[in-house]
Amino acid sequence: MSYSVSPIGFVRSCFKEKFAIPRQPQLAPAARGVLELVPPFDQGEAVQGLEQVSHVWLLFLFHQALEDKPRLKVRPPRLGGNQSVGVFSTRATHRPNGIGQSVVRLERVEQGKLWLSGIDLLDGTPVLDIKPYVPYADSVADAVNRIADSAPALIDVDWQPAALAQGQAHEQRLGEPLVALIEQCLAQDPRPAYQVPAPDRQYGARFWDVDVRWHYPQPGQIRVLEVVVAES
Ligand code: SAM
């Protein structure tokens, strides 16, 4: 038996590639984007009332991780990438039907557009449904998850002075909290846990229209080296 679903909209996100996106929403409050609704949901009626809601659940497709053959076990980065567990005990992107869910802050509602922050979604993500967050039902005070029992530990992020000046200039140009976005995302330490970062090894990721490069001068510390406009 199969059912078909179709997107009600697509996310225009600060994240242009998967690397360095936080592993869950809310970890980078400066991560912003717009959910652009498609017809007939772009008429305003479908979102009427949402201005009374601070957060929404988004149900979406991991469109850049879809696979034909379902995996039963996965190796979540959270467990260092070398321990495998049942797919249903994780929030891994490779999963049956490729469906993700994130609670995100709803900053503003416009006809056909929802302005979001705290997102963990790649640019172009197809969204299947939106539901209001209901605090009394969705927040479970005595919930336990022994695989992911707390937010990931943060590491220090500092800047080469020239890189910070570049970041601040692009922040002004974009009208987006770019410096905070970079700090919040890199503090999650996007590097795969199995990689020991040599100080001369550089890493990079794209946020909005800029490429950010960084290295690890010592374990547990990131230094931002450069923030430059990305080549298309
Ligand atoms: N909060 C969601 C959930 O629990 O279903 C997503 C969790 S998943 C572990 C988060 C990761 O999904 C991000 O770090 C990013 O690399 C990846 N991701 C985000 N949007 C994606 C997309 N459209 N296609 C493939 N991977 C995506």
Residue-wise pLDDT for 158-178, tens only, equals: 999 999 999 999 999 999 999
Flag whether pLDDT at 196 surpasses 90.
no
pTM for the predicted model, two decimal places: 0.96
- Locate the DSSP E strands across the chain: 9-13, 32-37, 55-61, 73-74, 85-86, 99-110, 113-117, 126-132, 156-159, 202-207, 210-218, 221-229
Cα–ligand 1 centroid distance for 122 (angstroms): 7
Measure the CA–CA gap between 64 and 182, rounded to whole angstroms: 22
Pocket flag, ligand 1, residue 120 (CB < 6 Å): yes
Predicted local confidence at residue 139, as pLDDT: 97
Pocket flag, ligand 1, residue 122 (CB < 6 Å): yes
Predicted local confidence at residue 91, as pLDDT: 95
- Give 227's contacts (C-beta < 8 A, 6+ positions apart): 163, 166, 167, 170, 178, 182, 210, 211, 212
Determine the angle formed by the axes of helices 161-174 and 178-186, rounding to 10 degrees. 120
Q: pLDDT per residue over 10-31, tens digit each?
A: 999 999 999 999 999 999 999 9
Q: What's the mean pLDDT when you consider all of the chain?
A: 95
Which amino acid makes up residue 191? R
For atom 12 of ligand 1, the residue with the nearest CA is 93
Alpha helices, DSSP H, located in the chain? 135-138, 161-174, 178-186
Domains of the chain, earliest start first: 9-136 (2.40.30.70), 156-229 (3.30.2310)
Tokens of 127: 């969204």
Q: pLDDT per residue over 112-154, tens digit each?
A: 999 999 999 999 999 999 999 999 999 999 999 999 999 989 9
Pocket flag, ligand 1, residue 100 (CB < 6 Å): yes
